[in-house]
Amino acid sequence: MTSSTTLPNRIAQYWALTKPRVTSLAVFCAIIGMFLATPEIPSWKLVLPAILGIWLLAGAAFAVNCLVECEIDARMARTARRPMARGEISASQTVIFSSILGGGGMVVLYHFVNPLTMWLTVATFVGYAVIYTMILKPATPQNIVIGGLSGAMPPALGWAAIANDVPMQAWLLVLIIFVWTPPHFWALAMYRRDDYAQSGLPMLPITHGPEFTRFHIWLYTIALTATTALPFAVHMSGLIYLLSVLVLDGIFLWYAWQIYRHYTDLIARKTFTFSIIYLSLLFAALLVDHYLKF
């Protein structure tokens, strides 16, 4: 057995197929939805299997994404080291791996959480792995906008796991991630535009140019600022959240303005990095406010 096929390396290769950093952010947002769904601390008997089931199906969706985009990934510096792009894992192995993860996630959610959460998570899997990855992403520069709903679903999945319902408050959380996705991803596409030009994907900076993309990052960040005020406006959250989101939105708006009026690849990279921190802190503020509301 060569060093590239030792058991630890093989495990690492399969682990990479699940895009663990992206999966972790999705699961974190789902956990926030779980805790916001009830005024009390939710039961670990629901939380733990919900986390496991959502993680398994998210990992399965990302594995399918790696399968479909392996040739594209191989042409891009950012993704060329992914296992399928390097030919370390075959298509059949990826299909089997994704099927095991997805099937396991469905079983866990159906039997240990509730059928609503399972079906919503399966719909999210289809939305990301099929509708976004296979249909929208190679077809339109608005792929990240139209397909963003599947990536925005985790808070609703977490809410459904605890409450067996998805009320308006859960959809507000989904809306926040939906509006956050374009400025987050287009900032990445701006400083990786040469990569995307080689990939053949119709990303906005390639099809409509950098200036058009910069302006739309600015517009969507303004829209995000308005959207993140909604939880306070509908009395879902209190002053802790409001003060937190004012600071976070102020910083994000500053970054977006710098991209629009004083663009450099460095500011785009910093904006992309901050956007991840922004979403994590915003949802953490919602959680703190939920239990310390005043």
The tens place of each residue's pLDDT in the chain, 294 residues long, gives 444 568 888 888 999 999 999 999 999 999 999 999 999 999 999 999 999 999 999 999 999 999 988 888 888 887 888 888 888 899 999 999 999 999 999 999 999 999 999 999 999 999 988 888 888 888 888 888 877 888 899 999 999 999 999 999 999 999 999 999 999 999 999 999 888 888 788 889 999 999 999 999 999 999 999 999 999 999 999 999 999 999 999 999 999 999 999 999 999 999 999 999 999 999 999 999 999 875
Where in the chain is CATH 1.20.120? 167-294
Burial class (CB in 10 A: 0-12, 13-18, 19+), 136: buried
Q: Name the CATH topology of 1-166.
A: Tetracycline Repressor; domain 2 (1.10.357)
| Backbone angle region of 19, left / alpha / beta, with phi > 0 → left and psi within -120 to 50 → alpha | left
pTM (two decimals): 0.92
Distance CA 79, CA 97 (A): 20
Where in the chain is CATH 1.10.357.140? 1-166
Distance CA 49, CA 45 (A): 7
56 and 104 Cβ atoms separated by less than 8 Å? yes
Distance CA 42, CA 264 (A): 45
238 and 289 Cβ atoms separated by less than 8 Å? yes
Burial class (CB in 10 A: 0-12, 13-18, 19+), 49: middle
Of 189, 184, 126, 133, which Cα lies nearest the Cα of 153?
A: 126
Task: Tell me the CATH class for 167-294.
Answer: mainly alpha
